[in-house]
Chains A and B, each alone.
Chain A
Amino acid sequence: MRYAMAVDTKKCVGCCDCVVACQTENYVPIGFCRDWVVEVTDGTYPTLELELRSERCNHCANSPCVRCCPTGASHYEKGGIVVVTHNKCIGCGACITSCPYDARYSHPDGYVDKCTFCLHRVEKGLKPACVAACPTKCMYFGDLDDSKSPVSVVLKNRKYKTLIPEAGTKPQLYFLI
């Protein structure tokens, strides 16, 4: 099993519903977020291109954060989801420093926190909160090993990219282009 997410940059309107849905679902403290929206403007006027990306932890298959964690608090869960065990985390910050996507933050309670692909919802067969809340339905979630899962289907039919694959982390967050 390999959980992954695809985000359609053509459908995303940058409303940030995914951000608020995540903050609400996961009790993210005020002033922090586990996902965020990036707007990229490329080109010179008048030939401009706009790309909107809902970004979060890439749940890399070769995670530098799991590698550098001195206590094993950062680890792979079922389906390759990268999760932090709160009471094992010492808050040293190594994983925050090791992440090329800057996807982790230091929770005010001391431990390091990040996107979990809403593991607690996924285990019940629900979609992650951000995917469920998206008003344009631009996000797809599922198991890459299952050829009929929404994410497998959309990746078969569309062009996509990942963010900085040259960092060697094997990211599992795909952006449809």
Chain B
Amino acid sequence: MREEIIVSGRMNPNIDPYLNIWHWQIPLYLFLGGLAAGILFFAALFYLRGKENEYRAAVKIAPMIVPVLLILGLFALFLDLKHKAHFWQLYTVIRLQSPMSWGAWTLMIITPLSFIWAALHIKEVFPKWEWKYQWLKDLETFFQKYKKLIAWLMAIYSVILGVYTGILFSAFNARPLWNTSILGPLFLVSGLSTGAATAILFSKNHEERKTFARIDLLLIAIELFLIVHMFMGFLASTQVQIDAANLFLGGPYTAPFWMLVVAMGLILPAILEALELIKFKIPVYIPAILVLFGGIMMRFILAYAGQMSRWLY
């Protein structure tokens, strides 16, 4: 038997009995960032394939909410900072080794892009919209010329944003649960899946909804595959990662993870979308909302569980 006591009382409630430094702000931001990445990726993809009129919701309507999502996400990040007045220090340096620095700069690029994209389509979504000032009109004509370039940048940076939300966690070797490179692709796929679900929610076109239901089904299958592989990797790894996996395999996060994320957030919407594709009548917003719910729960559960996993010594 081995017992370890901290005699002096490392009296830090944020660290003992386990690390408790990142709260709701971080997983909420990761969800909003992933969702924004998903929506922008599909908008750019279908625009570049010349299908902006067939996929109106994905290319034009859903991107309207992206600036709001990103601003809310950035605000959540700002709330997380404990030395708030110094936040601008993020933009004084580019540190390639730090995922957070990557993320800060990626957001610096993709947030303006999302505003431009929304502005370019706002007249089509809200026909009564009029720019109040001449310079705004000029700006719109200017960006209209470079729309293709903007779409390409959006496609590339949305993938970086989606992967980065996972890399932010996986770069920490001190938290064994997060320390798996699968987290990058897992968060990207989950972000794309929530993006597809949002396109379904906004779409009134049956064909578009069907396409996105198919895309979403594929993404859910990939997500389940990645989750299985993540646990296989953990169980074949060192003791600290086996312990991390056990948080979900009998430990305190077993029920929330397998029920809320896997069953309700992945398998159930997949079944409903599949039934819908083979002509059963199911209100489309049910699987879409379940996917969004699964996405947000996955990030919350991984954020909190990761801070419970640690090295033993």
Contact = CB atoms under 8 A, between A and B. Distances in A.
Nearest to B312: A164
Nearest to A54: B8
Given A36-B6, A92-B81, A98-B173, A73 B89 contact: yes
A33 B8 contact: yes
B11 A72 contact: no
Interface string B1-43: 1111111111110111001011000000000000000000000
Contact of A33 (B10, B86, B99, B100): B10
Interface stretch (A99-107, A119-127, A139-147, A151-159): A99-107
A37 B6 contact: yes
A43 B310 CA distance: 23
Nearest to A96: B21
B83 A38 contact: no
A94 B82 CA distance: 12
A38 B172 contact: no
Contacts of A5: none
A13 B14 CA distance: 27
B173 A90 contact: no
A70 B86 contact: no
Interface residues of A, number: 50
B82 A93 contact: yes
A118 B3 CA distance: 31
A89 interface: yes
Contacts of A94: 98, 100, 172
B307 interface: yes
A177 interface: no
Q: Max chain A CB contacts within 10 Å: which of B8, B15, B93, B101?
A: B8
B282 to A, nearest CB: 41
Interface residues of B, number: 48
A100 B22 contact: no
A91 B84 contact: yes
Given A40-B3, A88-B89, A91-B84, A31 B98 contact: no
Contacts of A40: 2-5
Given A32-B12, A40-B2, A105-B15, A71 B7 contact: no
Nearest to A94: B100
B182 to A, nearest CB: 19
A68 B168 CA distance: 9
B87 to A, nearest CB: 5
A97 B172 contact: yes
Interface in B101-119: 101, 104
B83 A91 contact: yes
Contacts of A88: 86, 89
Interface string A15-42: 0100100000000000111011111111
Contacts of B15: 96, 102, 105
Interface string A64-88: 1001111111000000000000011
7 contacts: A14-B7, A39-B6, A42-B2, A72-B93, A102-B15, A109-B83, A167-B311
Given A100-B310, A105-B12, A166-B238, 7 more contacts: A71-B93, A72-B95, A73-B89, A90-B84, A90-B86, A97-B172, A102-B19
Interface of B: 1-12, 14-16, 19, 21-22, 80-87, 89-90, 92-93, 95, 97-101, 104, 171-175, 238, 307, 310-313
- Considering the complex of A and B, which 3 residue pairs feature the smallest CB-CB distances, nearest first? A91-B82, A91-B83, A110-B83
